[in-house]
């Protein structure tokens, strides 16, 4: 009988504390029955949001040989998933890898660049241009509203109307052949995520009650659940709804407890909801 477990090559960093990137991607996708094959871009002691003095071991030199070895094993990989990238060279390496896999794997690019209207301090103009090239060939992209604004060359706004969001999704659709999913929208109460899978002809919206907290890593959890649900064969809209509901549930649970938000959501307590 054929091995039923799907495999994802995931290109992210490993941060030892603060629940983001691989610390949440591996358990989340595993809970959905998907095997994560981690391709680490860097190893940090903590994530960069809210901590100082963290260690940072850059693995840029290893990335392409690591990928070439994985893809020479003669095993079938079903998806390729990239997220936070640390420099322009890493973005170019992901571009090389996407070109190698786009005809045989589902390619999800989470263009992690910033949040709350700001780019991350590690980001610069050149990296943003690189990210625009990455989204072009992806099959699914999952920018938050801040990243979506930067990708289409606009200044992020504090609040978005439904029409603003529709225009934003349509502009993104002109930049990629893939499905577009924009998350974390603030403004119109009936909109939280917006998506299109037909090049912007139709734009759908989903909504969820906001929790009013800012935990790192929730974008990584959202994209991981989305990818897992898509690989299970679910439709895009159902996968988005399931993923946002899960993120909201973990945030709501975490918000009951008194601990620093920079430690991330209490994922361990809620993983069973994915089974």
Question: Which positions touch ligand PXL (CB under 6 A)?
Answer: 13, 15, 20-21, 44, 47-49, 84, 112, 120, 216-217, 219-220
Beta carbon of residue 79, minimum distance to ligand PXL (angstroms, whole number)? 19
The closest alpha carbon to 72, from 102, 38, 101, 33, belongs to: 101
Is the CB of 6 or the CB of 47 nearer to ligand PXL?
47
Is the CB of 110 or the CB of 164 nearer to ligand PXL?
110
Beta carbon of residue 76, minimum distance to ligand PXL (angstroms, whole number)? 28
Beta carbon of residue 10, minimum distance to ligand PXL (angstroms, whole number)? 12
Beta carbon of residue 28, minimum distance to ligand PXL (angstroms, whole number)? 12
Is the CB of 44 or the CB of 169 nearer to ligand PXL?
44
Residue 182 pairs in a beta bridge with 194
Interatomic CA distance for residues 136 and 177, integer angstroms: 6
Which distant-in-sequence residues (6+ apart) come within 8 Å of 252 by Cβ?
211
Helix (H, G, I), strand (E, B) or coil at 77: coil
Interatomic CA distance for residues 248 and 205, integer angstroms: 16
Is the CB of 120 or the CB of 253 nearer to ligand PXL?
120
| Helix (H) and strand (E) counts in the chain | 9, 11
Interatomic CA distance for residues 211 and 183, integer angstroms: 14
Beta carbon of residue 81, minimum distance to ligand PXL (angstroms, whole number)? 13
Is the CB of 16 or the CB of 153 nearer to ligand PXL?
16
Is the CB of 20 or the CB of 203 nearer to ligand PXL?
20
Interatomic CA distance for residues 207 and 245, integer angstroms: 9
What are the C-alpha distances in Å from 80 to residues 39, 145, 164? 10, 23, 30
Beta carbon of residue 66, minimum distance to ligand PXL (angstroms, whole number)? 18
Interatomic CA distance for residues 48 and 232, integer angstroms: 32
């Amino acid at each position: 009988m054929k091995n039923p477990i799907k495999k994802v090559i995931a290109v992210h960093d490993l941060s030892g504390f603060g629940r983001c990137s691989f610390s949440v991607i591996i358990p989340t996708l595993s809970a959905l029955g998907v095997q994560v094959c981690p391709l680490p871009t860097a190893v940090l002691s903590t994530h960069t949001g809210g901590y100082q003095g963290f260690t940072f071991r850059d693995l840029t030199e290893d990335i392409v040989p690591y990928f070439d070895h994985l893809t020479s094993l003669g095993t079938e990989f079903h998806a390729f998933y990239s997220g936070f990238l640390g420099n322009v060279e890493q973005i170019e390496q992901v571009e090389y890898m996407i070109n190698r896999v786009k005809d045989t794997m589902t390619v999800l690019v989470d263009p992690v660049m910033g949040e709350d209207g700001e780019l991350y301090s590690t980001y610069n103009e050149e990296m943003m241009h690189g990210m625009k090239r990455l989204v072009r060939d992806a099959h699914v992209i999952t920018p938050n509203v801040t990243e979506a604004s930067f990708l289409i060359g606009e200044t992020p706004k504090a609040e978005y109307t439904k029409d603003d969001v529709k225009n934003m999704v349509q502009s993104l659709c002109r930049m990629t052949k893939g499905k577009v999913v924009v998350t974390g929208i603030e403004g119109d109460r009936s909109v939280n995520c917006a998506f299109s899978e037909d090049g912007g002809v139709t734009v759908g919206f989903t909504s969820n009650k906001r929790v009013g907290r800012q935990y790192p890593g929730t974008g990584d959890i959202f994209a991981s659940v989305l990818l897992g649900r898509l690989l299970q064969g679910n439709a895009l809209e159902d996968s988005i709804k399931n993923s946002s509901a899960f993120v909201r549930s973990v945030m709501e649970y975490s918000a009951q407890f008194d601990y620093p938000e920079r430690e991330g959501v209490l994922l361990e307590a809620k993983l069973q909801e994915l089974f």
